[in-house]
Amino acid sequence: MKTKTAVKNDVVKRAKRLFTPALVFHTDIVVKKASGIYVEGMDGKMYMDFSSGLATANIGHCPPEVVAAAKNQTEELIHSGCIFRYSSEVELAERLKRITPEGVEMFFFSNSGAEAVEGAIKLARYETGRQGIIAFTPSFHGRTMGALALTSSTARYRKNYHPLLPSVYHSPYPYCYRCPMGKNRASCSTDCFDSLRRILKYQIDPTEVACAIIEPVLGEGGYVVPPADYMEKLRELCTREGILLIADEVQSGMGRTGKWFACEHFGITPDIITLAKGIASGFPLSAVGSSERIMSRWSPGAHGTTFGGNPVSCAAACATIDKIEKEGILKNAATVGEYALRRLKALQEKSGSIGDVRGLGLMIGIEFVKNDCSPDRETLKKVTKRCLRNGLILIECGIDKNIARLMPPLITKKQEMERALDIFEEALG
């Protein structure tokens, strides 16, 4: 009889023969069962999943309420294909209308984050009759051809796919630790905003720009929190020039930052919002949201889907939102996140390897640097490997893969965060 480890290794070996290496897996764990913040490997090893299945299992893996809602819905209706209406999509839209920023009143449901981004830029072009799109470097918006044209978190994702969507202009994201203008926080007056103004002066007239799409907290590009005044200036400029502001909240939304949506931290309201990842606890679902005025002018047939807004995914999303509300999970994310930030900042003081710690709620980036502040990918690689060995799943981000992203489920208790940070500290030591 094969040992558990042999079975695990066999699955990995067979998978490597059957799947293209284009799709990269962060670990070689083969899961037997996942529950809450824990994942059990086929070899019997337990892990704390501080990746939340890529910021998606926001209320933990297989939450019983979501499992029950999905089971019930599965027995009633699995699929509609836009042939008939069903109540779970309406109930979800009503919940989203209640929790999304003011002015988001109608929705289009699809399956993935990239699909929501595609829908959002189509909507912006449709509504404005303009073609230009502003995006920010190094953002991530997905891998489909339209979304990829907006993504600039690494040239590797774009290599061999040109030409991409035309009329997309990239402005630097306000990444203060590595200021694109070479300033420091004391001398900064959000000068990077001038780059955006220059694009609108030299490259494309504002009257030709349909939308600006921004991650209110940068995800894959480095877990960066922008200065509030940058976000305010962006909102003002968009309003003044008739450019629709799209908040891509695929990663930062659904409670990740301790508020329903990250843009709430800056007091700005987007014209269009994109949601996915944590929305349905891992069931495939995404949404584009906007005002009734804009959405109702998107005429029949202008966009469509077969699987989008799947009834089971919608039921799972309703149960996810209900649980977050009932159990005060946003508050937990904010409180446990503050604790983690405090402890990591204290660790930064002691450790020569950590250059910056930043974040909101449970979206925290820890930037590893060498003595000269250059990115230190090697140390982080060692740290994440040791963490994994000691039962903590931690993944990296940023172009140089030198930023650890702490994105545990929002239900993580303080004691569990303590335990995870103990493992992290030991790995660093």
Please identify, using beta-carbon distances, which residue of 142 and 337 lies nearer to ligand PLP. 142
Please identify, using beta-carbon distances, which residue of 206 and 284 lies nearer to ligand PLP. 284
Contact between 149 and 118 under an 8 Å Cβ cutoff? The reply is: no
Q: How far apart are CA 344 and CA 238, in angstroms?
A: 36
Please identify, using beta-carbon distances, which residue of 148 and 196 lies nearer to ligand PLP. 148
Contact between 217 and 223 under an 8 Å Cβ cutoff? The reply is: yes
Please identify, using beta-carbon distances, which residue of 250 and 334 lies nearer to ligand PLP. 250
Q: How far apart are CA 260 and CA 321, in angstroms?
A: 10
Q: How far is the CB of 86 from ligand PLP (least distance, A)?
A: 23
Residue nearest to ligand PLP (CB): 113
Within its chain, how far is the Cα of 316 from the centroid?
19
In 3D space, the residue among 76, 57, 54 whose CA is nearest the CA of residue 66 turns out to be 57
Buried b (16+ CB within 10 A) or exposed e, 35-67: ebbbbebbeebebbbbbbbbbbbbbbbebebbe
Q: How far is the CB of 101 from ligand PLP (least distance, A)?
A: 16
- Total Cβ atoms within 10 A of residue 13: 10
Which residues make beta-bridge pairs with 159? none
Q: How far is the CB of 200 from ligand PLP (least distance, A)?
A: 24
Q: How far is the CB of 353 from ligand PLP (least distance, A)?
A: 26
Instruction: Tell me the helices (H) and strands (E) count for the chain, helix number first.
Output: 13, 15
Q: How far is the CB of 226 from ligand PLP (least distance, A)?
A: 14
Q: How far is the CB of 187 from ligand PLP (least distance, A)?
A: 30
Which residues sit at the interface with ligand PLP, rule CB under 6 A?
Answer: 112-114, 117, 140-142, 215, 219-220, 248, 250-251, 276
Please identify, using beta-carbon distances, which residue of 276 and 421 lies nearer to ligand PLP. 276
Please identify, using beta-carbon distances, which residue of 215 and 416 lies nearer to ligand PLP. 215
Query: What is the SS3 assignment for 24?
Result: coil
In 3D space, the residue among 281, 210, 289, 295 whose CA is nearest the CA of residue 249 turns out to be 289
Q: How far apart are CA 75 and CA 4, in angstroms?
A: 34
Q: How far is the CB of 117 from ligand PLP (least distance, A)?
A: 5
Q: How far apart are CA 310 and CA 316, in angstroms?
A: 10
Q: How far is the CB of 220 from ligand PLP (least distance, A)?
A: 6
- The enclosing H or E element of 307 equals none
Please identify, using beta-carbon distances, which residue of 4 and 143 lies nearer to ligand PLP. 143
Q: How far apart are CA 254 and CA 264, in angstroms?
A: 12
DSSP character string of 148-170: HHH--S-GGGTTT--S--SSEEE
Contact between 151 and 142 under an 8 Å Cβ cutoff? The reply is: yes
Q: How far is the CB of 395 from ligand PLP (least distance, A)?
A: 11
Query: What is the SS3 assignment for 331?
Result: helix
Please identify, using beta-carbon distances, which residue of 36 and 253 lies nearer to ligand PLP. 253
Contact between 353 and 427 under an 8 Å Cβ cutoff? The reply is: no
Within its chain, how far is the Cα of 27 from the centroid?
19
Please identify, using beta-carbon distances, which residue of 51 and 80 lies nearer to ligand PLP. 51
Please identify, using beta-carbon distances, which residue of 42 and 276 lies nearer to ligand PLP. 276
Q: How far apart are CA 322 and CA 101, in angstroms?
A: 18
Q: How far is the CB of 251 from ligand PLP (least distance, A)?
A: 4
